[in-house]
Structure 1
Amino acid sequence: MPVPFFQVDAFTRTRFSGNPAAVMLLDAYPGDDVLTAIAAENNLSETAFLVREGADYRLRWFTPKVEVPLCGHATLASAAVVMERLEPSRRQVTFHTASGALPVTRTDSGYVLDFPARASESVPVPAGLAEALGVMPEDVRINAFTYLALVADAALVRALTPDLAAIAALDRPGVIVSAPGDGPFDVVSRYFAPAKGIPEDPVTGAAHTTLAPYWGDRLGKTTLFAHQASARGGEMTCTLTGDRVLLEGACVFVIEGQAEI
């Protein structure tokens, strides 16, 4: 069965940077085993599967190994597919997801994603984390989704060569490493999630739902300009509003066609 297929570089204005996501439009969802197999075939950090639902869309995200409860870059890519290819007259769309209704608004320069904020709390450095990262964090924070390891400066974040097998063995599926930003950036980070089939995610919208509340409080700001310092790199603006985080970024279409499933 042929289905529309798009590959979009998200949280970037430059093709072949940012985070590539596959977006596929389906009439209905097949079994999870089929969705996982398709995502594994695409071999990107996430594949987004869209199904029309009235005026809106149902959205699910799969890594090459598992379904995830929230994904920023593949939501951004999905919004671009809806508002630039499927329904180019639209300026807003709501995706119904495992994390609730996620509105996305088109702007003159990109898209704004309205996501739930994820609070975190400080904990002692967990056993094995410093060894896995190759650096002792100044502080470690935790929530149900991730560890957030804080280090002294952006140079340390960029220089990390973590033990991915050791990170995969931790009791959280992902680890964010972050420091105060340099240059024009308020925040610099990287994100590792080998247990989910993502050794290092190039640019992670969901990670910034944890980063934004922490750094907003620490820096006394409600708007932050963030850089994710992976090899591909990407950037976004994060705005705190109550218990939500607005993530603003751009994206670029790379591949358009059909997939046989």
Structure 2
Amino acid sequence: FLRDRFPGEDEQTATYARVLTSMAPRPVTLRTLDVGGDKPLPYFPIREDNPFLGWRGIRISLDHPDIFKTQLRAMLRAGAATGSTDGLSVLFPMITMVSELDEALELLRQAHAELVEDGVPAHFPKVGVMIEVPAAAYQVELLAKRVDFVSIGSNDLTQYLLAVDRNNDRVAKLYDSLNPAVIGVMQWLVERARRAGKPVSVCGEMAGDPAAALLLIGMGIDSLSMSLGNLLKVKWMIRSVPLSVAQALVADVLGLESAQQIRAAAEEVMIAHGLAGLVRPGQH
């Protein structure tokens, strides 16, 4: 989408097919259009006083169902073209209400039905919902019943819980995903998604931070999505610290009162398991 215009259905199909082919036979999750806030498009200007609380993510898609359905059709066509019967998942971002998810699912069903009617051997994909705002967090059980998996967007969830714009230098020091409130909500989310029988993943900076990832593993997170630069560090941590230790750490930090205390506790465990090289300089 980073070009001078919206890509057409054929262009999108070709791009998604390349991604699916390059990752086969591994599963691929394609997130629907997630612009607005800190993700602008040059040909689709959105001018708002507070873009993080405005028109973004699924809100834009549902207000432009033609653009949205084009993207959904392209994803399904790419899955059909590459034979990805079980490898394609579709993820809806910035959901705040059950009705938004229902509307998005209906458009996905329409896109699938249209392709099947046209003779395209499209399989209905696995579907996930992103939990990025407190409203969605506290409806996670209702949302989870409608989808196959739950993905927690740690960057936005942190800033909305703490009322901190992470791009504002004046308050940047207040933005910390290890804040006790964030950790408590994350644990609460995992418990309720588990109750609904759905796997949970986490994306964002939290997933690529070894100390935070240690806590996420202890909470029972099934998968982490991170930048390539953090992959080896987090992999090293997961291989080095037993799951039982991570679970005990979570129980310990839920009673702590600051992000600094929580990070110190996590990094103490990391050092004890030979991971001093992953501890942030100056922390210990």
- TM-score band by shorter chain is under 0.3
TM-score by length of 2: 0.25
Which is helix-richer, 1 or 2? 2
With the length of structure 1 as denominator, give the TM-score of the two structures. 0.27
- Higher strand fraction (1 or 2): 1
Higher relative contact order (CA 8 A, sep 6+): 1
Quick check: which has more Rg, 1 or 2? 2
